[in-house]
Amino acid sequence: MLVLGIESATAQVGCAIGGHEGVLASAHSSRAKRHAEILTPQIDFVRRQARIELREIGVVAVDLGPGLFTGLRVGIASAMAIAHALTVPMIGVASLDLLAFPVRFTSKLIVAAIDARRGELFYAFYRPVPGGVQRVSEYEVSSPDDLASEILAHSEDCLVVGDGALRYHEVFDGLRKVELADFGFAHPNAASLVQLAHAQALREQWVRPWEIVPLYLRKPDVDINWTTRDSK
């Protein structure tokens, strides 16, 4: 079964296609703020690189967030439309799970941290398990200092991964037993998404396109925009 994976939760936007043979093709771009312009041609490019037709796709996987709302929705809206048009099911995976997955070969406690802007991070804790990682906390949103305190409370070796960790590296640099993963692991990866979703697809753990629910972790800001209101 072929899986198309789309992720756009951070400053990076990417997609990948894969199946039982592994990942056939993938592409990523981190020229921020242009997710909508980049993503549609990128899917077409990856589709051609994978040498398949879109109608061969059996499942569409998408990064559910948390992340930057506007970019996140570009990926989710695109993925839902593709699944709808192909009449195939969908699999949603959290951005933080995608961040933790590529560093699963560590023996340390993994902390995935995404930049949430406004001086905060989205984060979660994971333990490596055979074949992947297991989340051992809730998805949280809080300040880098709060996360540093939580890490210290665990009093064990930690590997901190993600663009949020890198942005606030000075908060984590001085901590004992804490290692920071470099920028090669900074963003959720569409290839990891395809890999994780393919395993779920084999167990038919999927939903219909309209059942996909983004993980925002924050209530919407309520500032009314009079000037652009255009109806009634």
Partner 1 sequence: MTDMRILGIETSCDETAAAVVVNGTRVLSSVVSTQIDLHARYGGVVPEVASRAHVEMLTPVVSQALLEAGMVDGAKVDAVAATVGPGLIGSLLVGVSAAKALALVWDVPFVAVNHLEAHLYAAFLEEPDLDLPLVVLLVSGGHTMLVCMEGHGRYRLLGQTVDDAAGEAFDKVARFLDLGYPGGPAIDRLAMEGDPHAVAFPRPMKNDGYDFSFSGLKTAVVNHVRKHPEINAADVAASFQEAVCDVLITKARRAAREIGAKGLCLGGGVAANSQLRERMLDACVADGLHAFLPSRAMCTDNAAMIAAAGWYRLASDGPSSLDTGANPSLSLAVLDP
- Residue 209 to residue 76: CA distance in whole angstroms: 10
- Residue 21 to residue 148: CA distance in whole angstroms: 40
> Is residue 155 within the footprint of partner 1 (CB under 8 A)?
no
- Chain residues 86-115 in contact with partner 1, contact rule CB under 8 A: 86-87
In the complex, least distance from residue 226 CB atom to partner 1, rounded to whole angstroms: 6
- Residue 141 to residue 124: CA distance in whole angstroms: 9
Token digits of residue 71: 């970019």
Output the CA torsion sign for 220, 223, 225, 229: positive
- Chain residues 213-232 in contact with Zn ion, contact rule CB under 5 A: 230
DSSP state of 145: H
**Using CB distances below 5 to 8 A depending on partner kind, what does residue 217 bind out of partner 1, Zn ion, none?**
none
Contact flags string 119-138 toward partner 1, x per CB under 8 A = --------------------
Token digits of residue 38: 């980049």
Q: What is the DSSP annotation of 50-78?
A: TT--GGGEEEEEEE--SS-HHHHHHHHHH
Beta strands in the chain (DSSP E): 2-7, 13-19, 22-29, 57-63, 90-93, 109-115, 121-129, 132-135, 140-142, 158-161, 178-180
In the complex, least distance from residue 230 CB atom to partner 1, rounded to whole angstroms: 3
Contact flags string 206-225 toward partner 1, x per CB under 8 A = ---xx---x-x---xxxxxx
**Using CB distances below 5 to 8 A depending on partner kind, what does residue 87 bind out of Zn ion, partner 1, none?**
partner 1
Residue in the block written with tokens 């209101």: 229
**Residue nearer to partner 1 on the CB measure, 176 or 232:** 232
**Using CB distances below 5 to 8 A depending on partner kind, what does residue 175 bind out of partner 1, Zn ion, none?**
none
Partners of residue 93 on adjacent β-strands:
63
- Residue 10 to residue 98: CA distance in whole angstroms: 12
Contacting residue, 1, 77, 141, 148, with partner 1 by CB under 8 A? 77
In the complex, least distance from residue 232 CB atom to Zn ion, rounded to whole angstroms: 9
Residue in the block written with tokens 């930049």: 115
In the complex, least distance from residue 43 CB atom to partner 1, rounded to whole angstroms: 6
In the complex, least distance from residue 99 CB atom to partner 1, rounded to whole angstroms: 22
Question: Which range in 84-92, 129-137, 159-167, 179-187 contacts partner 1 by CB under 8 A?
Answer: 84-92
Q: Which residues of the chain form contacts with Zn ion (CB under 5 A)? A: 230
Q: Which residues of the chain form contacts with partner 1 (CB under 8 A)? A: 34-41, 43-44, 54-55, 69-70, 73-82, 84-87, 209-210, 214, 216, 220-232
